[in-house]
Amino acid sequence: MAMKIRLARGGSKKRPHYAIVATDSRMPRDGRFLEKLGTYNPLLAKDDENRVKMDAERVQYWLGHGAQPTDRVARMLEAAGLRDKATRNNPKKGTPGKAATERAKQKEAKAAAAAEAASAPADE
Task: Please tell me the distance from the alpha carbon of residue 107 to that of residue 110, in angstroms, as a whole number.
Answer: 5
Q: How confident is the model at residue 95 (pLDDT cuts 50, 70, 90)?
A: confident
Could you tell me the domains of the chain?
3-80 (3.30.1320.10)
How many alpha carbons lie under 13 Å from residue 1 in its C-beta half-sphere? 12
What single-letter amino acid sits at 3?
M
CA distance 4 to 33: 10
Residue 122 — very low, low, confident or very high, per pLDDT cuts 50/70/90?
Answer: low
Pairing of strands 35-40, 52-54: antiparallel
Instruction: For the full predicted model, state whether its pTM sits above 0.95.
Output: no
Instruction: With residue 109 as reference, give the H or E element that holds it.
Output: helix 98-119
Distance between CA atoms of residues 12 and 37, nearest Å: 21
pLDDT digits (tens, 9 = 90+) for 54-89: 999 999 999 999 999 999 999 999 999 888 888 878
